[in-house]
């Protein structure tokens, strides 16, 4: 009986359970159908009200089975654009975005509440431009009008799940870029609260972190359990507990991150205690991983990094960075070297307040290692960057070959015994002439350097140096090199130097040997970069800087030769490099003389003979003046190539530009700047000289450079078929401004040819467009030049005489207009003989003084002004035949291309004027 009752009860339970399950399944199918329209409508409403960004998706489905057992609204091909100014770029894109629906709000609530979000195969693209404007401000927050009651918002999240996604964070204001590939995230918390705790689990297959275009983490695997407190009112994050593993390195991360209106407020603390040195290197960039697999690493590492403070780009504010690194009992052995690095110990503390390198505080309390009996020990403190306070202790007796092999330094082969015992303490400040107190030696014996960029090494590197300074100033510094030398390509080079008092340098230098600049450069340089030439030296230089400067040459003992071949010289003053093809310099006291010095610059060629004085003072002192005198001969000089130029990048805008699009550069030209520390004289001859398309023939004259000015004296050349004599002065004030004075005398040249070939003459003497004949010119003018080395016309001041000899004026529009107005055909093409036209230039106006001429019985008289842009204001009296007693007053206005002629002083009367002169 009991068994029968039990079976009956069991079957009833099974029956009702089955009915319940079937009913639930039916409800799970039916409920989405019933509420589908309501849910979709609510989503559109919420999107329109709450999102400040364009939202698109292909279709929407409601189901219990996408993320069972949650009822979810799934949007396929989801795309959400960012907030301004990124409204045309994707912020979030996903194959699917699903919103978990709160069932009680669906059935009983006034609004539908979303408590879960699921993103799969998504792209989360966070961007911040250089102004600090971000694309993530897409959610429109409600304005607080009073105390809040229970939230009725449709968004009440409790869970976020992201699977197999890609996260990009690109902040141009902070120059930070982060990529997270294979990003998986699960976060739980009551997102509806103003302040809530978020429990997260995150896994990243590949993490990249790039700062200032330098990779810090590349392709790193990250696994973390995180607890974060979030304040949605202020958009503040507090990282309470964060256990991270970056590859094998375990890291404890705590801190806070607050979004400000135009930046961030940061307080990060990253700590890793008692980590293994090998595990630390697994978090380094990939190039070290290749090295790591062949290297045995041991040692205990303590690492602490803090970043605290506000980052606001517009106010130039930055957080304080502190980094403490300790390594105990380190061991490094690359490819089982016979001489591993042992007893590697480091204790380094670094501070960079406000992320300002000028405020750097470095305290390397200890860096030491052993290789067998060899050792290296150093302590270093540095405060500041441009004018640092330095405290250095360096002791070493180390075989560089053994160290190189133990560390596995790639591509570079080093040898030699480095023996040092050096101490330095004090401030380095070039302007204040301060140099740290120092004493000690730094020696290298049998050194050897070989790189992959050149097949042969630099060998026999021997340096014996002694440094001493007991005053903490430049004048107390003493450096002795006896000897310093090396051998390269079979050519030895030896230098011995005894240098004292760097305020008034007392020097004793011997140099002998050959330096192949091209090949030495290739030892250290990658392909594509090249410097050519070699220097052969046999010099003895002895004396003081002040004796050289004051001209006490009898106290100097400088002698020897310096031979240059194929040397490229680059200077900030010239846009192209100067190639010294050959030159042998002979030193005697303070004079450096040379003969047959051959050089080229672009298309220009030079042959120099002469001498330089005060060379050593010029090279060793910013105030040293280089004096010299030369004769210069050239077949061709292209002055245009001496104009300075530079390329500038375009101003950045917020407009999106594809990465592949080439960025245009803007070519800026500039005037020639003459260094102020030159006092040079040239007597030059040049067969051809090109300037702005104007070809000068057989130029000769004296050129002086002094105090940043250039003077041209008694210069002569052939221009448009006649001899020209001129004097000039020139000074570049800034890269975009120069001043000049110019005086020219030219006799009997073809005015028609001058108008066609001399651009400046054409613009200043526009009335000569259709003239033919012979003229002479005696003119002085001064003013400014712009960055294209062209005259700034309003700045020009000057005057002179244009002498006309047998000139025919044909088709000149002004005379055509006069002819038509007065009905005298003969005046249309006048001929002039022995007429002097005096004029002055000022304020963009050429003022023509009154001049007269006779032609076919007519006696014209002309005076007035013409602007440099061609506007006319000419007064004219046309004396009529036979004797010019009766004259027609005329006024010519308009432009040279469109002159307007009026008769009479007021334009409507004819006068009879007795000309007092014949």
Identify the CA nearest to 711 among candidates 689, 682, 749, 688. 682
The 3-class secondary structure across 132-143, one letter per residue, is CCECCCCECCCC
Number of other residues whose CB lies within 10 A of the CB of residue 351: 16
CA distance 402 to 369: 12
Name the helix (H) or strand (E) containing 321.
Answer: strand 320-334
Distances (CA, A) of 469 to 420, 444, 501: 17, 21, 9
Nearest Cα neighbor of 704 from 735, 727, 688 is: 727
How distant is the alpha carbon of residue 592 from its chain centre?
38
Q: Which residue matches tokens 């001041």?
A: 797
From first CA to last CA, the distance across the chain in angstroms is 162
Query: What is residue 651's predicted lDDT score, i.e. its pLDDT?
Result: 34
User: What is 298-319 written as a DSSP string?
Assistant: EEEEEEEEEEEEEEBGGGTB--
> Where would I find the H helices in 580-691?
615-620
User: What six digits make up the tokens of 621?
Assistant: 């002192």
Instruction: Tell the burial category of 694 from Cβ atoms under 10 Å away from its Cβ (0-12, 13-18, 19+).
Output: middle
From CA 28, how far away is CA 70, in angstroms rounded? Answer: 10
- pTM for this model (two decimals): 0.58
Nearest partner of 404 among 413, 395, 416, judged by Cα: 413
By three-state DSSP, how is residue 445 classified? Answer: strand
Phi, psi for residue 23 in degrees, rounded to 5: -65, -45
Residues of the chain with pLDDT under 50: 23-29, 33-34, 65, 67-68, 105-109, 145-155, 526-530, 646-668, 906-918
DSSP secondary structure letter of residue 879: E
Report pLDDT for 648. 38
Helix, strand, coil percentages for the chain (3-state, nearest 5): 15, 60, 25
User: Using an 8 Å Cβ cutoff, are 82 and 55 in contact?
Assistant: no
Taking only the tens place, the pLDDT of each residue in 881-893 is: 776 677 778 888 8
Answer yes or no: are the C-beta atoms of 495 and 509 closer than 8 Å. Answer: yes
836, 800 Cβ separation under 8 angstroms: no
Both structure tokens of 209:
């972190």
> Does a cis peptide bond (omega within 30 degrees of 0) precede residue 69?
yes
> Mapping DSSP to helix (H, G, I), strand (E, B) and coil, where does residue 409 land?
coil
Which tens digit of pLDDT belongs to each residue from 695-711?
788 888 888 888 888 88
Collapsing DSSP to helix, strand or coil, 440 comes out as strand
- Can you tell me whether residue 81 is helix, strand or coil? strand
Contact 848, 867 (CB under 8 A): no
Tokens describing residue 660? 């592949």
Contact indicator for 565, 542 with CB cutoff of 8 Å:
no
pLDDT at 53: 66
Is the Cβ–Cβ distance between 878 and 891 less than 8 Å? no
DSSP H or E segment with residue 210: strand 195-211
Q: Is 813 helix (H, G, I), strand (E, B) or coil?
A: helix
Residues 780 and 799: beta-carbon distance below 8 Å: yes
């Amino acid at each position: 009986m009991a068994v029968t009752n039990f079976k009956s009860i069991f079957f009833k339970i099974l029956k009702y359970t089955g009915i319940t399950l079937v009913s639930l399944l039916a409800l799970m199918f039916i409920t989405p159908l019933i509420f589908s329209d309501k849910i979709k409508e609510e989503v559109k409403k919420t999107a329109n009200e709450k999102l400040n960004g364009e939202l698109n998706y292909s279709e929407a489905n409601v189901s219990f089975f996408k993320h069972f057992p949650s009822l979810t609204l799934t949007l396929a091909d989801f795309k959400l654009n960012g907030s301004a100014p990124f409204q045309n770029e994707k912020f979030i894109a996903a194959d699917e975005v699903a919103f978990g629906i709160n069932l009680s709000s669906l059935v009983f609530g006034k609004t539908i509440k979303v408590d879960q979000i699921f993103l799969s195969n998504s792209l989360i693209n966070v961007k911040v431009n250089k102004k600090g404007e971000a694309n993530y401000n897409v959610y429109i927050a409600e304005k607080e009008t009073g105390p809040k009651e229970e939230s009725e918002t449709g968004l009440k999240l409790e869970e976020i799940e992201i699977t197999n996604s890609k996260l990009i964070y690109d902040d141009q204001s902070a120059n930070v870029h982060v990529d997270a590939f294979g990003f998986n995230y699960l976060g739980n918390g009551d997102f509806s609260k103003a302040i809530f705790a978020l429990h997260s689990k995150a896994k990243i297959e590949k993490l990249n972190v790039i700062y200032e275009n330098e990779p810090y983490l590349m392709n790193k695997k990250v696994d973390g359990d995180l607890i974060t407190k979030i304040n949605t009112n202020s958009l503040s994050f507090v990282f309470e507990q964060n256990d991270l593993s970056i590859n094998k390195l375990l890291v404890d991360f705590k801190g806070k991150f607050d979004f400000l209106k135009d930046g961030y407020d940061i307080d990060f603390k990253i700590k890793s205690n008692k980590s293994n040195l090998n595990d630390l290197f697994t978090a380094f960039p990939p190039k070290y991983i290749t090295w790591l697999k062949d290297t045995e690493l041991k040692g205990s590492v303590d690492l602490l990094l803090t970043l605290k403070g506000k980052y606001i780009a517009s106010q130039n504010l930055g957080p304080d960075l502190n980094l403490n690194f300790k390594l105990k009992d380190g061991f490094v052995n690359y490819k089982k070297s016979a001489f591993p690095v042992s007893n590697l110990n480091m204790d380094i503390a670094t501070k960079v307040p406000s992320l300002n390198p000028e405020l750097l505080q470095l305290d390397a309390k200890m860096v030491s290692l052993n290789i067998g009996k060899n050792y290296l020990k150093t302590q270093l403190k540095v405060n500041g960057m441009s004018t640092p306070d330095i405290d250095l202790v360096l002791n070493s007796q180390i075989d560089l070959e053994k160290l190189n092999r133990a560390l596995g330094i790639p591509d570079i082969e080093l040898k030699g015994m480095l023996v040092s015992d050096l101490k330095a303490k004090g401030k380095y400040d070039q302007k204040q002439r301060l140099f740290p107190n120092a004493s000690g030696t730094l020696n290298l014996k049998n050194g050897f350097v070989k790189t992959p960029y050149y097949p042969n090494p630099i060998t026999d590197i021997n340096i014996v140096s002694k440094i001493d300074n007991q005053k903490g100033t430049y004048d107390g510094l003493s450096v002795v090199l006896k000897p310093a030398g090396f051998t390269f390509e079979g050519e030895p080079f030896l230098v011995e130097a005894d240098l004292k008092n760097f305020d008034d340098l007392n020097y004793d230098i011997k140099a002998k040997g050959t330096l192949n600049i091209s090949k030495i450069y290739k030892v250290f340089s990658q392909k594509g970069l090249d410097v050519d030439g070699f220097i052969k030296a046999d010099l003895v230089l002895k004396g003081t800087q002040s004796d050289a400067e004051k001209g006490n040459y009898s106290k100097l003992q400088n002698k020897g030769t310096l031979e240059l071949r194929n040397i490229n010289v680059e200077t900030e003053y010239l846009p192209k490099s100067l190639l010294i093809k050959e030159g042998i310099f002979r030193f005697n006291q303070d004079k450096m003389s040379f003969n047959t010095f051959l050089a080229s610059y672009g298309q220009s060629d030079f042959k120099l003979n002469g001498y330089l004085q005060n060379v050593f003072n010029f090279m060793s002192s910013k105030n040293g003046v280089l004096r010299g005198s030369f004769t210069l001969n050239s077949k061709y000089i292209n002055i245009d190539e001496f104009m300075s130029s530079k390329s500038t990048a375009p101003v950045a805008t917020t407009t999106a530009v594809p990465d592949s699009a080439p960025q245009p550069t803007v070519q800026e030209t500039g005037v020639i700047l003459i260094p102020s520390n030159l006092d040079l004289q040239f007597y030059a001859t040049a067969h051809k000289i090109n300037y702005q398309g104007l070809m000068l023939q057989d130029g000769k004259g004296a050129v002086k450079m002094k105090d940043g000015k250039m003077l041209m004296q008694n210069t002569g050349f052939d221009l448009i078929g006649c001899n020209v004599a001129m004097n000039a002065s020139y000074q570049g004030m800034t890269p975009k401004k120069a001043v000049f004075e110019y005086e020219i005398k030219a006799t009997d040249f073809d005015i028609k040819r001058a108008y066609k070939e001399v651009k400046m003459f054409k613009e200043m003497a526009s009335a000569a467009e259709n003239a033919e004949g012979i003229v002479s010119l005696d003119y002085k003018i001064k003013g400014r030049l712009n960055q294209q080395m062209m005259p700034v016309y309003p700045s020009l001041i000057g005057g002179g005489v244009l002498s006309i000899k047998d000139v025919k004026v044909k088709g000149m529009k002004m005379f055509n207009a006069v002819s038509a107005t007065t009905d005298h055909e003969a005046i249309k093409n006048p001929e002039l003989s022995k007429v002097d036209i005096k004029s002055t230039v000022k304020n963009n106006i050429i003022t023509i003084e009154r001049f007269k001429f006779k032609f076919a019985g007519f006696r014209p008289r002309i005076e007035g002004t013409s602007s440099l842009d061609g506007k006319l204001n000419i007064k004219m009296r046309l004396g009529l035949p036979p004797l010019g007693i009766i004259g027609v007053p005329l006024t010519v206005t308009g432009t040279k291309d469109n002159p307007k002629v009026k008769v009479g002083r007021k334009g409507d009367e004819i006068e009879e004027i007795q000309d007092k002169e014949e």
